[in-house]
Chains A and B, each alone.
Chain A
Amino acid sequence: MPIELNEEMVRQRIARRIAREFHDGDVVNLGIGIPTLVSDYIPEDVRVIFQTENGAVGAGRAPDKPDLRFIGAGGRPLTILPGGCFVASDLSFGLIRGGHVDATVLGALQVSQEGDLANWMVPGKIVPGMGGAMDLVVGARRVIIATTHTTKKGEAKILRKCTLPLTAKGVVKLIVTEFAVFSIEKGQMKLLEIAPEVTLEDIKAMTDADFTVVDPLITMQGTEEEKA
């Protein structure tokens, strides 16, 4: 069975792997939680332009001295980089829905093998609202999911069909967990990479979905950089 990775290792591993997905010039929107960490691992020779729903284009790291006039979508202070700008919400979502955002990285409650995503509500619980998530997954050219492989109780999050209310149907292109990387193309899920401490059998046991396995299956990229 998989070894115990601590929570912080899990978050950093997923973020580090996703950071390898971007190309120079990509416009990227990061959700809250693990996705926010992705910006820490962008390679130096790749310039990614981070966009936030509340209207920053070209956002940089949190400043030393927070200024609430410059915040990200999660309310955290940010800086605006040279060449960045501010737009109003209509243009911000025009950029998102209009296909001008190359990728969005979001968390998930459940993902289906056909790329359906559920990440905004659990029936019976207080509903926080979808915010910008439904627009992001419909509009961004590539939807990348950053999620733990299973729930804290060990239940599969990658499923044949989502049981929770959907955020959108058939939108997810890549799933990165602490143990595996899957692509979804034309409704078909494929295992691309596997973490060093697990076997294909372990992945099958943790994943309640049908998938093919790429040949050759490689070790999850970035795990070699992890420090013990």
Chain B
Amino acid sequence: MELKEKLISSFMAFEERVDVNDSLHDIRINAMKNFENNGFPTKKEEAWKYTSLNSVLKNDFSVFPKNENSIQYSDVKKYYLHEIDTYKVVFVDGVFSSFLSSTTHDGIDVCLMASALTKPKYKMIIDTYFNQIAQKDDSLTSLNTAFAMEGAYINIPKNKVADKPIEIINFSTGTEAALLVQPRNLIIVGENSHVQIIERHQSLNSNPVLTNSVTEIFAAKRAIVDYYKIQNDTIEASLVDNTYIAQKQQSNVSVHTFSFGGNITRNNLNFYHQGEHIESTLKGITIIEGKQHVDHHTLVQHATPNCESHQNYKTILGDRSTGVFNGKIFVEKEAQKTDAFQQNNNILLSDKATINAKPQLEIFADDVKCSHGCTIGQLDETAMFYMQSRGIPKKEAKALLMYAFSNDVIQSIKIPELKARITKIIANKLGVNMGFDL
């Protein structure tokens, strides 16, 4: 049975199982209808021209998460930011693991989507926020919405600074031959509040996994949200990450995406402005090789005046790997005095690596500052010789150049332990013991 048919019949079974209120029920039904009509995206669609899921969709995925699989903390400790204390919302094969998690209801809510979707006390919040900014006509987002159940629910009330970072970690154990998981996260950050969140997807063996994740983030007036995505998964793990962010006036939201692993990774990162003097930051480092594929689709919807957005994406592609960067900046007529900046630099280490880069600016206001820059190049041979002539071996010289290339993005990580971690992942990836810190 094809995956689409399997999902449609699974949905009927799912609907019978869940006891949900009417409004949610309608949302699910409509979402499923949209998925049924559109199916999985194909290369015929402009937005998916360079990314094909066909090879992944051939797997016979298990759709429903089984009961909790037991894994030991010691097995997975290295995937946590264990150097510091954090709140943790951990899922194993799509099922919440209370054993590995550390949630809270003390002043802030760091807990489960499943509770928020089913318990009456959250009904008002769910009605107000759930599926409000997720793209209703996007078929993979719809598929996630139809099955939405497990995920992180984070609610920081106004005037609160979350006392420690929050980690959302999705492990897959490989007990299923092939697994489809669909985490659904809802993050609400109140006025003047501040939170730092780290999201990671990690397979623990080589069985294929497809993650179709949807995250909605609402930043109220003057809220500050720093979100970090670590995508350093095994070679059989594919990820479609759909993140939707709505910002109110004077809020400041940054998303850093570190794509170092996985099979096919697709990031759809969307910012919507709903007030003045908003700041949005989108940054990413992609370092891949082999036949890996990473696709960044970004959208910043400037709908209001006096807002800023900054984008900076660095890509290093080795072997036959392929990268896509499609950065769309949309400036509506009302959005005067917009300051939008987009930078995308790419290095191809091999003749067989490919990057498809497409800056896309649509500007309908007449008093704005919008700029974009895109470069594609190779590692500078003269710079290599220069460093070698000073005694730095070729491999280290190459690593130093690649590290320097991505350094300005690394420097903007606000959690020191995370910065150290990312540096270490890069050093491991480049096969050097980096004796330098930049």
Q: Real complex partners, A and B?
A: no
B interface list, Cβ under 8 A from A? none
A interface list, Cβ under 8 A from B? none
